[in-house]
Structure 1
Amino acid sequence: MSQSLSAFLLFALVASISPGPTNLLILAHGARKGLRASVAPILAGCCAAAGVVLLVGLGLGELLMRHPQAQHVMTWAGVLWLSWLAWRMLRSAGEPLDVGAGKVFSATSAASLQVVNPKVWMMAVAVIGVFAAPTLPVWQLALAFLLIALPCMTAWALLGVGSTRWLRAPGRLLWFNRGLAGLLLVSAWAAVLG
Structure 2
Amino acid sequence: MASLDLSLLLFAVVATITPGGATTLATASGARFGFRRSIPLMLGIAIGLALLAAVAALGLGSMLLAMPALQIVVKMLGSAYLLWLAWRVARSGPPTANSGPAQPVTLANGMLLLWLNPKSWAMTVGAAASFAMLASSPRQLAVLLGAAFGVAASGSLALWCALGALLARVLRTPAHWRVLNLAMGALLAASVLSIWR
Q: TM-score, normalised by structure 2?
A: 0.90
User: Match for 2:194: what amino acid?
Assistant: A
- Separation (CA, whole Å) in 2 of partners of 1:87 and 1:81: 10
- 1:167 pairs, out of 166, 171, 175, with 171
Aligned to 2:151: 147
1:137, distance to aligned residue in structure 2 (A): 2.2
Residues matched between the structures, number? 191
User: Match for 2:26: what amino acid?
Assistant: I
- Separation (CA, whole Å) in 2 of partners of 1:66 and 1:126: 13
Assess if the C-alpha contact under 8 Å between 1:132 and 1:141 holds in 2.
no
The answer as to 2:181 corresponding to 1:183 is: no
Partner secondary structure for residue 163 of structure 1 = helix
1:189, distance to aligned residue in structure 2 (A): 2.1
- Separation (CA, whole Å) in 1 of partners of 2:112 and 2:141: 25
Partner secondary structure for residue 105 of structure 1 = coil
Assess if the C-alpha contact under 8 Å between 1:96 and 1:170 holds in 2.
yes
User: Match for 1:31: what amino acid?
Assistant: A
Aligned to 1:97: 95
Q: Please give the per-residue CA displacement for 1:89-119, whole angstroms capped at 9, x wherever unaligned.
A: 2222xx1222347242111211111110122
Partner secondary structure for residue 73 of structure 2 = helix
- Separation (CA, whole Å) in 2 of partners of 1:119 and 1:166: 33
Aligned to 1:4: 4
Q: TM-score, normalised by structure 1?
A: 0.92
1:123, distance to aligned residue in structure 2 (A): 1.1
Structure 1: which 5+ runs fail to align?
none
Assess if the C-alpha contact under 8 Å between 2:57 and 2:145 holds in 1.
no
The answer as to 2:71 corresponding to 1:71 is: yes
Percentage identity across paired residues of the two chains: 32
The answer as to 2:77 corresponding to 1:80 is: no
The answer as to 2:27 corresponding to 1:23 is: no
1:13, distance to aligned residue in structure 2 (A): 0.5
Q: Please give the per-residue CA displacement for 1:30-57, whole angstroms capped at 9, x wherever unaligned.
A: 1111111111111111011010000111
User: Match for 1:97: what amino acid?
Assistant: P
- Separation (CA, whole Å) in 1 of partners of 2:44 and 2:91: 26
Assess if the C-alpha contact under 8 Å between 2:57 and 2:142 holds in 1.
yes
The answer as to 2:44 corresponding to 1:40 is: no
Aligned to 1:120: 120
Structure 2: which 5+ runs fail to align?
none
Partner secondary structure for residue 104 of structure 1 = coil
- 1:156 pairs, out of 160, 171, 175, with 160
Over 4 Å off, 4+ runs:
none
Q: Please give the per-residue CA displacement for 1:55-112, whole angstroms capped at 9, x wherever unaligned.
A: 11112112113311111110111011111111122222xx122234724211121111
Partner secondary structure for residue 96 of structure 1 = coil
